[in-house]
């Protein structure tokens, strides 16, 4: 059937179990008949094509024989109720799926699509097991609101959390509070002035008094999180970490090497895939959050890296159509014949099919940090090699000053600013005295690194608490140093959980082993390239700066400088573990 015309229905009501009404826009074929439904639920205004359609051509979906429904979630724009991020999405998602399945032009089969917040609305709904939900495509999304989205191992994700609250959430709070009054116009002018200076506000502390939101009296959830006012029951409703077994529908996960939610997307795929319930597939491109271009940061990965022409065969809309045609229409679209994973290998800039994650054929090889031979290697211009360090290699030192943190320069970020995400040349940062640099010899042969990366660091600090950071770099023959992945560890969380206050003193002046988890990557270091590791103590504003006092930016503004010592000796063999693919 060829669809020539599309019928658009605006603000169609959908009643929830508690009596609240949510509103959706519906795009459907003009022909008589019943069609499968593709649903997305978002908090960013269904009337704005950039958000409601984003990386998909929803008109093509309709022309291919689908009803497309885009719904404002509870408490946002046209929908009733009070908005609290993710708190109601499981139940509301269930109710909306069943409502969509019962529409007169629906054939009773429903799929869901969307990224980020509206990637997570799919997973929360799927965990409730609505009978008519057949398949989902969660893109670049999370699995727990705090985990890897607001908080990571005790580090507050300053820039992304504050940007989302101020940019994406606050304006609608203000509209609902003030309506069309003159006061609303005044408040929006105040909001705009504040947002235009948000990069200055990232440094404000204590964050629990953050003026941009306090003075607007908007996005109260932000302070609930900071002050610990989220109950265990609320946290459980906003998480799927204990609900993977309940998600039994087929899922196609979309991820990016420079996406700020890469870790949670990979965990979602891995947990669901190993259960063997339904069919789970994964695609990982050289993409950032919601950015599917072949160009990201300061690198161009080639046309076939783009979401508009994946591997020279199809775009993301086509990928969705094939997936949903198989599960909602019963058509053979080679979905069942494809490998579970399709990933992009940077460096050689090629797509490749894989069977599992991490790759079973991985060899984990330690590359050790070495001194450059100087008595006081303060700048850490040292070596990186597979050779074990010697007994007497000198240590490296630097001073970490929270008032002058190492600035974030690309990576898996998501916050306001110019060109904040992706691969960027790190050489200017490497000139700082508080960034230690360890570099391999130029490679004689190509070396592929694909999988999770971690740094085992032996270090000492004279602070009661502090941070250590690590970054993996691909150094080109001309010296350009592109970041691949990075990570951070807070000393008081070095064993995975925060230590009790009394144990802070045990950190100070003690040589300790820290494990810094760097996010996974896939890159071939080409002949003539070098592998580099950077070590420091800050990455701001991606992460909050450690005040070195035992208190955080959330509750305090006082800070101390910290003298940091990095060891790389036979007894303390600091190293990076690289997942090598032969």
The catalytic residue positions are 116, 259, 289
Q: Are 285 and 292 in contact (CB under 8 A)?
A: yes
CA distance 483 to 471: 7
How many C-beta atoms lie closer than 10 Å to residue 147's C-beta? 16
Phi, psi of 425 (to 5 degrees): -65, 125
Q: Are 42 and 117 in contact (CB under 8 A)?
A: yes
Of 315, 320, 256, which Cα lies nearest the Cα of 289? 256
Give the pair of three-digit tokens for residue 321: 């159509």
CA distance 545 to 403: 8
CA distance 358 to 579: 9
Of 232, 228, 198, which Cα lies nearest the Cα of 212? 198
- Helices and strands (H and E) in the chain: how many: 15, 25
CA distance 232 to 277: 28
Cα dihedral 533, 537, 540, 544, rounded to 10, equals 140
The rounded radius of gyration (Å) of the Cα atoms in the chain is 25
Give the pair of three-digit tokens for residue 309: 């022409």
How many C-beta atoms lie closer than 10 Å to residue 331's C-beta? 12
Peptide bond connecting 295 to the previous residue in cis, omega within 30 degrees of 0: no
Of 335, 336, 360, 342, which Cα lies nearest the Cα of 253? 342
CA distance 393 to 118: 52
Q: What SS3 state is found at 103?
A: coil
Taken as a whole, the chain contains a residue count of: 582
């Amino acid at each position: 059937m060829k669809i020539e015309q599309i019928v658009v229905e605006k603000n169609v009501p959908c009643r929830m179990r508690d009596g609240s009404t949510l509103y959706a826009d519906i795009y459907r074929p003009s022909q008589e008949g019943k069609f499968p439904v593709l649903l997305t639920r978002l908090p960013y205004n269904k009337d704005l094509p950039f958000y409601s359609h984003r990386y998909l051509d929803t008109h093509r979906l309709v022309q291919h024989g689908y009803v497309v429904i885009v719904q404002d979630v509870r408490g946002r724009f046209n929908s009733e109720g009070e908005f609290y991020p993710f708190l109601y999405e499981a139940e509301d998602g269930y109710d909306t799926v069943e409502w969509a399945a019962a529409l007169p032009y629906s054939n009773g089969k429903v799929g869901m699509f969307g990224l980020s917040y509206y990637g997570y609305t799919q997973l929360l709904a799927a965990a409730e097991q609505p009978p008519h939900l057949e398949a989902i495509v969660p893109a670049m999304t999370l699995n727990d609101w705090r985990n890897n989205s607001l908080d990571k191992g005790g580090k507050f994700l300053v820039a992304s959390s504050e940007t989302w609250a101020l940019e994406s959430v606050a304006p609608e709070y203000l509209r609902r509070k003030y309506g069309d009054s003159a006061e609303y116009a005044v408040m929006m002018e105040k909001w705009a002035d504040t947002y235009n200076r948000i990069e200055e506000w990232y440094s404000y502390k204590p964050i629990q008094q953050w003026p941009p939101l306090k003075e607007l009296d908007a996005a109260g959830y932000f302070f609930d999180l900071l002050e610990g006012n989220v109950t265990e029951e609320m946290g459980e409703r906003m998480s799927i970490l204990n609900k993977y077994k309940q998600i039994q529908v087929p899922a196609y996960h979309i991820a990016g090497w420079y996406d700020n939610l890469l870790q949670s997307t990979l965990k979602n795929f891995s947990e669901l895939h190993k259960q063997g319930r339904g069919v789970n597939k994964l695609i990982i491109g050289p993409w950032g959050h919601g950015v599917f271009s072949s160009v990201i940061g300061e690198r161009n990965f080639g046309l076939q890296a783009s979401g508009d022409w994946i591997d020279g065969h199809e775009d993301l809309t086509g990928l969705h159509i094939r997936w949903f045609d198989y599960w909602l229409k019963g058509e053979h679209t080679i979905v069942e014949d494809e490998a579970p994973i399709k990933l992009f290998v940077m460096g050689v800039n090629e797509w490749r099919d894989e069977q599992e994650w991490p790759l079973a054929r991985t060899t984990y090889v330690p590359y050790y940090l070495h001194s450059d031979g100087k008595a006081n290697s303060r700048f850490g211009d040292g070596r990186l090699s597979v050779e074990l360090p010697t007994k007497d290699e000198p240590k490296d030192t630097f001073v970490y000053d929270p008032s002058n943190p190492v600035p974030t320069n690309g990576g898996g970020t998501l916050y306001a600013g110019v060109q904040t995400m992706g691969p960027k040349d790190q050489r200017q940062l490497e000139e700082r005295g508080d960034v230690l640099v360890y570099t391999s010899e130029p490679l004689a042969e190509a070396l592929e690194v694909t999988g999770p990366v971690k740094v085992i660091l032996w270090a000492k600090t004279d602070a009661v608490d502090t941070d250590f950071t690590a970054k993996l770099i691909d150094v080109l023959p001309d010296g350009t140093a592109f970041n691949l992945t990075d990570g951070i560890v807070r000393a008081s969380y070095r064993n995975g959980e925060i230590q009790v206050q009394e144990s802070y003193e045990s950190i100070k002046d003690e040589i300790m082993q820290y494990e810094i988890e760097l996010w996974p990557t896939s890159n071939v270091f080409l002949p003539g390239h070098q592998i580099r590791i950077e070590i420091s103590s800050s990455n701001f504003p991606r992460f909050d700066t450690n005040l070195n006092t035992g208190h955080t930016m959330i509750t305090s503004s006082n800070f101390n400088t910290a003298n940091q010592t990095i060891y790389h000796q036979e007894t303390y063999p600091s190293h990076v573990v690289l997942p090598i693919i032969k």
